[in-house]
A and B are shown apart, each in its own frame.
Chain A
Amino acid sequence: DTAVSQTPKYLVTQMGNDKSIKCEQNLGHDTMYWYKQDSKKFLKIMFSYNNKELIINETVPNRFSPKSPDKAHLNLHINSLELGDSAVYFCASSQGSLALIFGPGTRLTVL
């Protein structure tokens, strides 16, 4: 069983489009995260949700918005995509002091 799943795995789209990446975890964790990994492989946290409340919101453009319909899902919506948004986006979850569990990543390419 997949613990943290993301869809799609690959996303190729044109500049200016709006897209979403979905994330689901079946671990019963109470905190979920979105990370961006740029071309230099540097991981940076974008958002964190704990019990449906945003608790970390790094300075990312407001074109990015996390949406959590329930505890098991944290989707990432991106409006007006730009070339610089091309990256791999990872979802992760954790529970209390337990280790982070990452999803497989979504490679976004903006043309």
Chain B
Amino acid sequence: KNEVEQSPQNLTAQEGEFITINCSYSVGISALHWLQQHPGGGIVSLFMLSSGKKKHGRLIATINIQEKHSSLHITASHPRDSAVYICAVRWYSGGSNYKLTFGKGTLLTVNP
């Protein structure tokens, strides 16, 4: 079983602030996803990482495989960034099987 913990659970920021959301997991993984779910319900995949760092616009995702930890950063946050951010890890569970385990999400609210 892979325990996936996200922190913080809730985060409120002012527009322009630098945001960090953390994800830690307990078992070695083959990949880690960061997902974004807006209040309307749709889910968007932001990043998939297996090592190092990825950047897309104002979003940066990093992963440290040795420490079993990943962070999602948002620079110059904006109210439209308000959403639930979910971390999910893909890990080998034996035989030819992989599993996906999700964190419980971080609710980000960015105020103007």
| A43 close to chain B: CB less than 8 A | yes
Chain A positions 24 through 51: 1 when the CB is less than 8 Å from some CB of chain B, otherwise 0: 0000000001000000111111001000
| B104 close to chain A: CB less than 8 A | yes
From B18-26, B39-47, B62-70, the one touching the partner chain is: B39-47
Instruction: Assess A100 versus B35: contact at CB under 8 Å? Given A105-B41, A105-B42.
Output: yes
Complex CA gap A10/B42 in Å reads 14
Inter-subunit contact B84/A99 (CB<8 Å): no
Complex CA gap A39/B107 in Å reads 15
Interface size class of B (residues with CB under 8 A): 20 to 34
- Minimal beta-carbon separation of A85 from chain B (angstroms): 18
Chain A positions 56 through 70: 1 when the CB is less than 8 Å from some CB of chain B, otherwise 0: 101000000000000
Inter-subunit contact A41/B84 (CB<8 Å): yes
Instruction: Assess A55 versus B98: contact at CB under 8 Å? Given A100-B48, A102-B45.
Output: yes
Residues of A contacting B31 in the complex (Cβ-Cβ under 8 angstroms)? 97
